Every structure is written in structure tokens, then in C-alpha cells.
Amino acid sequence: MNRDGEHLLRELAPQVLGAVVRRYGDFDAAEDAVQEALTAAAFQWPSAGVPDNPRAWLVQVAARKLTDRIRSESARRRREAKIALETPPEENVAPPPDQAPAGEEDDSLVLLFMCCHPALTRASAIALTLRAVGGLTTAEIASAFLVPEATMAQRISRAKQSIKSSGVGFAMPLPDEVGARVDAVLHVLYLVFNEGYAASSGPSLQRVDLAAEAIRLARAAYALLPVDAEVPGLLALMLLTDARRPARSGPSGEIIPLDEQDRSLWDREAIAEGVRLVGEAMARGPAGYYLLQAAIAALHDEAARVEETDWPQIATLYTALMSMSDNPMVALSHAVAVAMTQTPAEGLRLLERLDRDPRFGGHHRLDAVRAHLLERTGDLPAAIANYRAAAGKTASQPERDYLLSKIARLRAG
Amino acid sequence: MKFMLMMHAPRGDGDYQVRDWKPEEFQAHIQFMRDLNRGLREAGELVGAEGLAPPGQARIVRSKGGGAPEVTDGPFPESKEFLVGYWIVDVESAERAHAIAAKASTAPGPGGKPLGIAIEVRQVMSAPPDAT
């Protein structure tokens, strides 16, 4: 199967799964059946040609696999009767090839909502979304998260179990629930992106590119939920962040901070698309959490040189972010923007307030930012002490290496 | 986030104390560990777990580049405790890792009483934590 064919199958997989789950209700069995249908397509289409309505073909084959399987398992006879009763008679007849059944987009959207249901743990929702909506194999997801395949298989099967037992049905949420569900979807996609973005600095050639996968899923979500300004906001945030990927780490995976990056390596095409999305989304009304972050990322990306960064505007956007989220990391970024707009001393003054915030709980980022600002004021001994404190607290290897190299550089003068 | 849970036991004379336990006590201990591991596996949290051979078999290897490496008995003789086994778990929070460690610590010993084993919990270093 060539790349176009694979691409088509991955596009169709969630739609087909959504359609089969909607008909038969059993998520687990439906997933197996869809997997079999996709395999059949991968074998047959290259020689027999892609059917006129590939989606209908896949739904039909998956439905047949599902009913075959149920028939062959005598222990499941009762369920067969249930399916026969639940299937509307007209659905036993395949649609004509030129007619796409109604609601195929709804099916994908419901599937996404189901996989990102707030009742699931984050880890389960992530795994299930990548599997059911992203069409990745369990082995691919396991290797992306560096856990054994058996562990990931358990996580996915538990997620399905929770869906079954929590009574999360395969149906569109009620209108007053849609907002919360969209938030959950965005959060899951954001976490997938972060996982991929963080991993991209290591020896990760064998791993599935989760950042690219998150962007693909965010694009799909944007197509399904075009009216929500946060969806293009998140897509833009991902594009604008990922655009800097080629410049953010050195040959041995070491971190290169934003102000030292070679900006000629940034992906101009991704930046242009991200900036355009931010503009479009901003025009729709008040900006939310992701869109504001995307707007900040856009300001960084649009500065051809670090000295051209529009810090006053960034500081304003962080102030807006602080008003809608009490995330202490936002307050920390705001302090940096203030330091860049006014003086490092003003930034340090804001950090003193954060020192008393118990939610930081000795987070290394606070020490690292303080170290950076102290370095700018010229107080090198204090900067070194704070870099050292940060290096002792971080759980990220490249970040620790970066902090230790800062200390070494400052001591060498 | 991934954590390594390291189970330490008193050094004693360099062999496991379980050799002095009654068979059923040993059996209960093993069963406890199996149940713990099965639970972690089913929760999709287990990355790996191994028990280690007694410290009498341990060797410390050192090399400064040239010549034969130095191989001595280990672990470090001055330590009062030694590593008997470990788990690597992938969990949602440090609190969850602590809860697993607390559970492991209660593994039964003689008379079925919880041993209160010392479990050292260390976060496994990762790539940078986020995109900001």
C-alpha cells in the first residue's frame, strides 16, 4: 500500500469506527472489526483498486466481520439477538456507492468526545485517542511513551472498560455539556503534543512523531468543530511551537533556549499558517487559553531577531492569560515578559511574590528564571546558586544538562 | 511520569533473611508481590520489575580506562542496607508512586506482619517536560 493509500485509511479509520460503534454499541468488538477491515483494505485495494466509496466499503466489511465474529462465538449468542434487534433494517442494506451515509462527521466527533471523556484518566484518554482516532497501533503508542507494549495494551483495555462501566454512551453530548467536552479534547491533544515535543530532543528516530500526530488530530478537530475559537487556537499553538523544533536542540540533544536559537532554521510555512489561524480565530470573539498562548507564540515567531521581540505586547497577553487561569507557570512567564519590557529587577520583584505560592512546591523553573534574571543584573554568584538549585530539582535530563552548562559558563567568566 | 521504586533490606550477613522464614510465610510474601505486580500490570502502570540476587553475589566493577578493571565484592561494605529489587512504574503523579511504594512496603514477613520495608522512590529523568 502506498503513502496515499495509508493516508486515506488513517483518515477513514475513525469515521468507520465511529459508524460501527454507533450501530452496534460495543466499542471493543467494533475496534477489532474495524482493524480487520482496514487490514483487508490494505491487502485488496492495491490490486483491485480503491472502491468508489471507500468509507462505505470499510463500514460494510467491518460490520460483516463483527457479525461473523459474534456468530462464531457461541458464548455471545445473546448479543447477536441484541444486535439484530438494535440494527435498523435499512442498515442491513449497504448504501449505494455514490451515496455517503449521513452523519459521518458526527461519528468522528462523537468518537473523539468519547475517547477524551473527562471520566477517563489522562493517560487512558491519551492512549485511547491515539488508538481509536489516530489509528496508531498499540505497539506504536507504547514505544512513543517508552513503556512495554503489554502495559499500553492494559491501559487501552482499561480505558475501554471504564467507558463501558461509566455508561459514557456513544452519543453527542447535550448542548450544555459540549463546552466541557471540547475542553477535554483540547487538553488531551495538548498533552499528546507536549509529550511529542518534549521527546523530540532525544534519540527518538524510532518513535512515532507524537507532535505531528497531535497536529494531525488538531486539524481533524478543527474540521469537525470549526466554530470554536479555541480549536484553531490550539492548532496554531502547536504549529507555532513545532515550527521552532529544528532550532531548539543541538547535535547531542542539548537545549538551545529561544533567545539563542538560529531563527533561520524555523519552519516559515508552519509559522505562516499558525499566524493566519491566530488572526482568524481572534476575529471570532474573546480569546481563550490556547488562543492567547498561540498569540504569544506568534509574536516570538514573527521576530526575525530576538531583539525585535515585541515584549510589551507579550506582557499584555500574559496579563490577559493570568486573568483567566491561575496557573502559576503563566505568572512566571509574565514575570519574564515584564523583566524584558522593564528591568530584570522588576521581574525579580514579581518572582518574590511567586516564592510564597505553595503550588510551586520547589519547582525548578522558578529557580531557573530567577537565575536567568540575576545573571542579567550581573549578580553572578546569586545566579550560579539559583541555577544550581534548579539543576538539583529538575527531572528532565536535557534541562539539567543545560542548567549545569550555564553554571560552568558563568564560572569560567 | 516514570518512577523507580527501590526496595532496600537490612544488610545483615549478606544473605536474604527469608531463608529463616517458615515456608508459608515465604509463600505469603511471594504471593503478595505477585498480586502487587499483577495489579500494576492490569492498571497499565508497570514498566518493569525485578528482584535481585543476594548481595553476597554482588560485585563492584571499576575501571579507569587502562588495564584490567578492578572487581571487588559489593555492595559498598559501609552501607547498612542493600537493594533487593525494584519496580519502574509509569503513573499520573508522584502521589500515586508513593502509594504504590507504601503498598509494597507492607509486604508480609514472619507471622504475616507487614515488614515496613524501606522503599526509595526516585523519579526517572525525562526529556524536557513541556513545550513552553
The string over A303-331, giving b where at least 16 C-beta atoms fall within 10 Å of a residue's C-beta and e elsewhere, is beeeeebbbeebbbbbebbbeeeeebbbb
In this model, does residue A402 exceed pLDDT 70? Answer: yes
Return mean pLDDT, chain A: 86
Q: Compute the average pLDDT of residues A163-172.
A: 78
pLDDT value at residue A308: 96
pLDDT value at residue A366: 93
pLDDT value at residue A29: 85
Note whether A397 contacts B125, CB cutoff 8 Å: yes
How close does chain B come to A190, measured CA to CA in Å? 10
Q: Compute the average pLDDT of residues B89-96.
A: 92
Alpha-carbon gap, residue A21 to A27, rounded angstroms: 6
Alpha-carbon gap, residue A266 to B34, rounded angstroms: 51
Q: pLDDT class for B131, splitting at 50, 70, 90?
A: very low
Provide residues of A within 8 Å CB-CB of chain B: 121-124, 127, 145-148, 150-156, 158, 193-194, 197-202, 241, 255, 329, 333, 395-400
Largest CA distance in chain B: 56
Predicted confidence (pLDDT) per residue in B15-34, tens digit = 677 778 888 998 899 999 99
pLDDT value at residue B16: 72
pLDDT value at residue A163: 84
Q: Which residues of B touch A400 (CB under 8 A)?
A: 125
Q: Which residues of A touch B2 (CB under 8 A)?
A: 146
Whether residue B66 lies within 8 A of chain A, CB to CB, comes out as no
Alpha-carbon gap, residue A9 to A231, rounded angstroms: 24
In this model, does residue A79 exceed pLDDT 70? Answer: no
- How many Å is the Cα radius of gyration of chain A? 25
CB contacts < 8 Å between A and B, how many?
Answer: 74
- Pick the range with the lowest mean pLDDT from A74-88, A282-296, B26-40, B105-119: A74-88
How close does chain A come to B39, measured CA to CA in Å? 11
Task: Work out the angle at residue B68's Cα, subtended by the Cα atoms of residues B65 and B74, and round it to the nearest 5 degrees.
Answer: 95
pLDDT value at residue B132: 45
CA distances from B36 to A95, A397, B23, B46, B49 (A): 51, 30, 20, 10, 11
Predicted confidence (pLDDT) per residue in A285-342, tens digit = 789 999 999 999 999 999 999 999 999 999 999 999 999 988 888 999 999 999 999 9
Asked, as a colleague might, if the bond just before B75 is cis with ω within 30 of 0, I would say yes
Q: Which of A86-100, A181-195, A375-389, B58-72 has the highest mean pLDDT?
A: A375-389
In this model, does residue A397 exceed pLDDT 60? Answer: yes
pLDDT value at residue A74: 54
Whether residue B64 lies within 8 A of chain A, CB to CB, comes out as no
Q: Which of A148-152, A250-254, A393-397 has the highest mean pLDDT?
A: A148-152
Q: pLDDT class for A76, splitting at 50, 70, 90?
A: low
Q: Compute the average pLDDT of residues B82-98.
A: 93
Predicted confidence (pLDDT) per residue in A352-381, tens digit = 989 888 887 778 899 999 999 999 999 999
Q: Compute the average pLDDT of residues A394-413.
A: 86
Q: pLDDT class for A14, splitting at 50, 70, 90?
A: confident
Helix (H, G, I), strand (E, B) or coil at A128: helix
Alpha-carbon gap, residue B59 to A242, rounded angstroms: 47
Q: pLDDT class for A263, splitting at 50, 70, 90?
A: very high
Helix (H, G, I), strand (E, B) or coil at A214: helix
Give the burial class of A56: count Cβ atoms within 10 A of its Cβ; 0-12 exposed, 13-18 middle, 19 or more buried.
buried
Whether residue B46 lies within 8 A of chain A, CB to CB, comes out as yes
pLDDT value at residue A297: 97
* B101 membership: H or E segment, kind and range: helix B94-105
A86 vs A50 pLDDT, higher one = A50
**Is ipTM beyond 0.95?**
no
pLDDT value at residue A87: 56
- Residue B115 burial (CB count, 10 A): 17
Q: pLDDT class for A150, splitting at 50, 70, 90?
A: very high
pTM summary value: 0.81
Alpha-carbon gap, residue A353 to A339, rounded angstroms: 14
Alpha-carbon gap, residue A305 to A171, rounded angstroms: 49
Judge contact between A200 and A256, C-beta under 8 A. Answer: no
- Residue B119 burial (CB count, 10 A): 21
Alpha-carbon gap, residue B110 to A324, rounded angstroms: 56
pLDDT value at residue A82: 62
pLDDT value at residue A117: 85
pLDDT value at residue A99: 46
Nearest CB to B43; choose among A154, A333, A399: A154
Q: Compute the average pLDDT of residues A175-179.
A: 85
pLDDT value at residue A97: 44
Note whether B127 contacts A398, CB cutoff 8 Å: yes
